[in-house]
Amino acid sequence: MYTVRELGRYAAEAFGVPNVTAREVRGHWFSAQAKRVVTAGLDADLLDESGLPAIIKASGGERLRVLALYHTQRTRARLRRLLAHHFARPYLSEGVPEDTVVQAGAHVEVMFHHAASLLAHGSGHRERDAALNQVPHVVAPDGTRVLALCETEFDGRPLDEDAKPVVSRMLAERSVLAQFLVTAEAAEDPAKDHAGNNALADLLRAAGLVHPRLTTALASGSLGAADPVTYVGLHVRAQRGAAWTKGAPKLSWSLVAMIPDGEHWRTLAYQFSPHPKTGRGTGWQDYFIANTAFRAHPLPDGKRQDEGLVAAIDTALGQLRPHVATGAGYVVMVSGDSSRSLWPLLANKNLDVEPDAAGRIGGRPALPGWDPALGHRPRAVVRVTSGTRDLPRPVEVRKPAAVAGKDPRIVKTTRSLYQLEDSVSANTWILANVPRQFAGSGRHSRAGLDSGRWSTEAETSKHAWYALTSTEIVVVGSGSDPQRYAVAAARLCDHAVSWDERTSYPAPVHLAALMDRNHPEYRRTVDWTDETQGEELPTRWPSD
């Protein structure tokens, strides 16, 4: 922080060019009461038995069934303690019979099964299918979401011998979503089992559970959401590189819609192909159901320049219409890293270009959902970009002095939302983020505030390698009040569904990206900056 702050001051003086400035958006405040609070490792509000059944119902289900699949006895004990802790059922930690469904609440049940052959690494385990057939209670009544918390022994094996992707796909083919937990010494106190608590939180996220505090987070204050608007998140990722040099490039895209349902939220995802085993479902499905189909299918071949991609996304947005409250409309939020190459009006150089009467620029749809044939345009499209090298970093906040004629007071950190002041960037906002390391309570957590990387002792300097980061929010295609949509995007970053800090992208985009990241074939083969080269070519499909 110190280094970047001093560098900014020096550069402005040396080059005679002032730093970029922005003003704080009044009324954007983030509700502290609606914040996700993790106590002793668990989200007690989400799991409160008086409210959990309604949250499960809003997700489209009626019950949750958790399959605890383990290899070692110490992991079995660890999972017992974790589940007992999260669902407030002490008897689970005292002993649970094998292969028996045990109630963990009015709408939650658990089952433990020793699955060593299923979970073992190595490409030579032909008995894996037979082992899965031996797992009981995989098939559940309609309305029961089946989730698997699986042990994995990390041993550094090559990708083609790693059991996790194979098991994840096999379970998804049976309409089960898996989350893996690395073998570790059993923590006697589950409140301190950070990996276990995070794994269980992510499993509940995959089930589509969203606490109604999100409604309060979005509605609070003068700039809060007044209508039951649906928020749609788009994630697109090209997969290529060393892992796929001998095959066709892969293209992963996912759409998630968060739809208000009274005080609750129903999360849907777009399913573009039927489930490969059951043959069920296309179109907008519950997040859990769409996830099982997505993981069960291989990633499709394709490239960004495929014209069918934009048409398929517009088709999906058109099919959303029956799910959106009459008169409320929807807002599309996209990752600027991955999506601005697909529509001309999302490119920086075209932000001031006027589309023609048909909503096109250079013969291409200007924005997602703008195909006239749909008759269902979004209220606004919000482009969110986070953490890339071309974004300005917040360095300091200047507060007016209480006494006239005095220098402004300098504030060194901020988590607020700001609007850029120049007229060219009138629809651009910056959300300032404090690094997680700085916000922590460790001995060196504040090391970088007043000391630079090279201006302090060696022991401290290695803890000072961080700075404030920014999330850019650009609102386009909005007929009126773009600031309200910028505030909604910022609040959907600040209010994470299953994380105790901010996410890089608004909740619907984040949930769409996690669908991709949890896919068995997901490989981190390319950087975002490489994926978006040539992104601002307005008259042709960019080179992938």
Q: For residue 473, what are the β-bridge partners? A: 384, 429
The Cα–Cα gap between 541 and 115 comes to 48
The Cα–Cα gap between 333 and 506 comes to 8
C-alpha closest to that of 288 among 168, 233, 208, 209: 208
Please, what is the Cα angle at 186 between 182 and 190, to 5 degrees?
95
Spatial CB neighbours of 157, under 8 Å, sequence gap ≥ 6: 121, 122
Tell me if 317 sits within 8 A of 512, measured CB to CB.
no
Using DSSP's 3-state secondary structure scheme, residue 494 falls into helix
Amino acid letter at 512?
A
Per-residue pLDDT reduced to its tens digit, 323-373: 998 888 999 999 988 888 899 999 988 988 999 999 999 999 999 999 988
The Cα–Cα gap between 442 and 446 comes to 8
Per-residue pLDDT reduced to its tens digit, 75-102: 999 999 999 999 999 999 988 999 999 9
> Alpha helices of 276-349 — where are they, by DSSP H?
287-296, 307-319, 336-339
The Cα–Cα gap between 196 and 202 comes to 10
**pLDDT recorded at residue 398:** 76
The Cα–Cα gap between 114 and 129 comes to 15
What long-range pairs does 2-8 form, CB within 8 A, spacing at least 24?
2/448, 2/449, 2/450, 2/451, 2/452, 2/455, 2/464, 3/448, 3/452, 3/453, 3/454, 3/464, 3/467, 4/393, 4/395, 4/467, 4/468, 5/395, 5/396, 5/412, 6/452, 8/393, 8/395, 8/396
- Which two structure tokens, joined as six digits, stand for 281? 């479902």
Tell me if 309 sits within 8 A of 342, measured CB to CB.
yes
**What pTM value is reported for the model?**
0.90
Calculate the alpha carbon distances from 238 to 299, 301, 535 in Å: 10, 10, 14
- The dihedral through the CA atoms of 302, 303, 305, 310 has a sign that is positive
The Cα–Cα gap between 89 and 102 comes to 11
Spell out the per-residue pLDDT of the chain, length 544, in tens: 667 777 777 788 888 888 888 888 988 989 888 888 899 999 999 999 999 999 999 999 999 999 999 999 999 999 999 999 999 999 999 889 999 999 998 899 999 999 999 999 886 667 899 999 999 999 999 999 999 999 998 766 666 788 999 999 999 999 999 999 999 876 779 999 999 999 999 999 999 999 999 999 999 989 998 899 999 999 999 887 554 455 678 889 999 999 999 999 999 999 999 999 988 889 999 999 999 999 999 998 888 878 789 999 999 999 999 999 888 899 999 998 888 889 999 998 898 899 999 999 999 999 999 998 888 899 999 999 987 777 877 877 777 767 777 777 777 678 899 998 775 668 999 998 887 666 655 565 566 566 666 666 666 666 666 677 889 999 999 988 899 999 999 999 999 899 888 899 999 999 999 999 999 999 855 433 333 333 332 222 222 2
Amino acid letter at 93?
S
Exposure of 148 in the CB half-sphere (CA atoms within 13 A): 32
Tell me if 455 sits within 8 A of 2, measured CB to CB.
yes
The Cα–Cα gap between 49 and 169 comes to 32
Amino acid letter at 518?
N
**What do you get for the CA distance between the two ends of the chain, in Å?**
35
- Which two structure tokens, joined as six digits, stand for 234? 């788009």
Angle, in degrees to the nearest 10, between helices 194-206 and 287-296: 100
Radius of gyration, CA atoms only, the chain: 24
Q: How far is CA 231 from the centre of its chain?
A: 13
